[in-house]
């Protein structure tokens, strides 16, 4: 069992660092809000918002989508599109909002959406939304007139409007054949500056079509240490700080909220010894999840067995949570070893610094648990960029067996936003190549109603129980520290979307 005392030394060290490293900043002004997050965005391209560290800056701040999803129930809400209808199995029509302009003064119209859709699905650019949410189908846009858009799909997409909630629309001047660092959208804020390694500055857009922001300027900065982020709110250097670690959540200004993320270890099961099911089962039995809750993970986290929350359509309620059984884990490794499986091969645990509070501490604890049952496990903590190289394929044929610390979020409410790109042979973050899983997910994605739900549930059962393709950990809870001078309540989408327009000073 892991005890809270294991964190005291690091907490004292951080406190000592803070006393010398922080300087007293200027007081917050009513026309500026500063938000501190864990890490710098990978890019600020409108087509890369499938990565949360990009989306939280761009989505509904700088760029907007045709529709939004209600954080309370996942319902599809109008945004740049005001209405839509399905004409036939492969054809949808969208009516677009009139009187909308991009930050450069150009008009938002159906042609702009057609261009954004073509760009997002262009494999030569490598857009995250094309590699993830829109992966596995073809999408052809047609501008019937300025405010009428028709989208045809290669195969049936029964929830196409939901999927388009992930497609951020950039201005027509956005390069058609390359990524950009200067996004031009229709949102309430325009990009003012991206100072690499330091901050992103946004400024309110005077000609925004909707309700104007209460605060004219926003700065997003990043700091790796939870205690540093928390202290920045206390000193007035920032007004909102995300991802506060449990041991640092000591203020009445700390707000805990479910964030739709599920933490897990991705198993690279193409490489021995992880290609043996007994070894993958032993990995799961070796982890004391109860001991991790309330120590390195927030006490509000709940043990997970599949990579979506119960609120997601397709969730399987009949999958049991893994017990902690180190003796059974040792026996399975002995059995596999006797059968010739190279179970003593070194397995690398790739962790990402700052992926969630206590990310390194959690991986250190898991490494110790794996070593305890007989795994040869080495931990390597990585910054975001090299970690993304491990997350996103294609993967080199010659590589060490590995487990990757990651999270999967689903605020869209349907399993199709989780399964295809992460657990199919063509998925951009998938290490699986199982035709039976591919078939289940493909049939589920094209189905509706009870059939859709049943097929997704079968897919989750296959991944978690029959094949054991993952090491699920927890459905996560996030803590944000919010200045008492501010009106702001984070919702379940806050991990991917900092809704700056909703923020005001008291």
Domain locations along the chain: 62-166, 258-476
pLDDT at 325 over 80: yes
62-166 and 258-476, same CATH topology:
no
Is residue 189 a contact partner of residue 44, using CB atoms and an 8 Å limit?
no
Is residue 187 a contact partner of residue 64, using CB atoms and an 8 Å limit?
yes
The pairing of beta strand 148-153 with beta strand 139-145: antiparallel
SS3 131: helix
What is the CATH number that goes with domain 258-476? Answer: 3.10.105.10
Question: For the chain, first and last CA: distance in Å?
Answer: 45
SS3 assignment for 1-35: CCCHHHHHHHHHHHHHHHHHHCCCCCCCCCCEEEE
Give the contacts of 63 (CB within 8 A, at least 6 positions apart): 46, 49, 168, 169, 170, 183, 185, 186, 187
Write down the mean pLDDT value for the chain: 92
SS3 content of the chain, % helix, strand, coil (to 5): 30, 25, 45
Selected residue with higher pLDDT from 15 and 261: 261
Q: 428: pLDDT confidence band, cut at 50, 70 and 90?
A: confident
Beta bridge partners of residue 84, listed in sequence order: 94
Whole-number pLDDT of residue 259? 87
User: What dihedral do alpha carbons 346, 352, 355, 361 form, nearest 10°?
Assistant: 60
Q: 271: pLDDT confidence band, cut at 50, 70 and 90?
A: very high
CA atoms within 13 A on the CB side of 323: 5
Dump pLDDT digits (tens) for 204-262: 999 999 999 999 999 999 999 999 999 999 999 999 999 999 999 999 999 999 888 99
Is residue 373 a contact partner of residue 329, using CB atoms and an 8 Å limit?
yes
Whole-number pLDDT of residue 26? 44
What is the CATH number that goes with domain 62-166? Answer: 3.90.76.10
Residue with tokens 């989780």: 418
Closest CA to 81 of 174, 157, 148: 148
Whole-number pLDDT of residue 249? 95
Dump pLDDT digits (tens) for 101-128: 999 999 999 999 999 999 999 999 999 9
- Measured in whole angstroms, the distance separating CA 247 from the mean position of its chain's CA atoms is 24
pLDDT-wise least confident of 24-38, 64-78, 283-297, 359-373: 24-38
């Amino acid at each position: 069992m892991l005890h809270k005392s294991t964190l005291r030394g690091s907490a004292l060290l951080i406190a000592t660092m803070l006393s010398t490293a922080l300087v007293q900043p200027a007081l917050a002004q009513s026309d500026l809000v500063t938000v501190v997050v864990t890490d710098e965005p990978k890019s600020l391209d409108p087509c890369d918002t499938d990565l949360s560290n990009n989306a939280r800056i761009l989505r509904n701040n700088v760029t907007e989508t045709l529709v939004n999803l209600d954080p309370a129930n996942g319902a599809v809400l109008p945004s740049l599109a005001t209405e839509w209808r399905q004409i036939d199995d492969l054809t949808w029509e969208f009516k677009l909002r009139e009187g909308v302009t991009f930050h450069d003064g150009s008009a938002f119209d159906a042609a702009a959406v057609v261009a954004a859709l073509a760009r997002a699905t262009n494999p030569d650019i490598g857009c995250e939304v094309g590699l993830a949410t829109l992966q596995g189908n073809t999408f052809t846009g047609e501008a019937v007139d300025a405010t009428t858009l028709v989208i045809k799909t290669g195969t049936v997409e029964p929830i196409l409007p939901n999927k388009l909630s992930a497609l951020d629309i950039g201005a027509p001047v956005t390069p058609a054949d390359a990524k950009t660092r200067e996004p031009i959208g229709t949102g309430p804020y325009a990009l003012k500056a991206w100072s690499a390694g330091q901050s992103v500055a946004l400024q309110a857009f005077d000609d925004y079509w909707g309700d104007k922001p209460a605060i004219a300027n926003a700065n997003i900065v990043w700091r790796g240490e939870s205690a540093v982020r928390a202290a920045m709110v206390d000193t007035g250097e920032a007004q909102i700080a995300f991802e506060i670690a449990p041991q640092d959540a000591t203020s009445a200004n700390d707000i805990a909220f479910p964030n739709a993320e599920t933490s897990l270890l991705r198993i690279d099961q193409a490489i021995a010894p992880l290609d043996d099911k007994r070894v993958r089962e032993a990995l799961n039995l070796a982890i004391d999840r109860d001991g991790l809750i309330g120590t390195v993970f927030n006490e509000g986290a709940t043990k997970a067995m599949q990579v979506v929350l119960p609120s997601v359509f397709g969730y399987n309620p009949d999958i049991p949570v893994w017990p902690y059984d180190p003796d059974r884990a040792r026996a399975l490794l002995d059995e596999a070893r006797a059968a010739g499986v190279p179970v003593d091969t070194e397995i690398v645990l790739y962790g990402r610094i700052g992926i969630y509070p206590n990310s390194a501490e959690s991986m250190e604890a898991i490494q110790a648990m794996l070593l305890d049952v007989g795994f040869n496990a080495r931990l390597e903590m990585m910054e975001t960029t090299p970690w993304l190289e491990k997350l996103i394929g294609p993967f080199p044929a010659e590589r060490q067996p590995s487990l990757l610390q990651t999270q999967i979020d689903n605020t869209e409410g349907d399993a199709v936003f989780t399964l295809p790109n992460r657990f199919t042979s063509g998925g951009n973050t998938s290490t699986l190549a199982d035709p039976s899983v591919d078939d289940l997910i493909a049939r589920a994605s094209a189905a509706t109603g009870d059939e859709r739900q049943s097929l997704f549930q079968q897919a989750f059962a296959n991944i978690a129980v029959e094949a054991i393709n993952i090491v699920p950990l927890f459905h996560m809870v996030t803590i944000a520290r919010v200045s008492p001078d501010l009106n702001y309540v984070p919702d379940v989408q806050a991990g991917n979307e900092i809704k700056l327009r909703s923020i005001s000073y008291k």
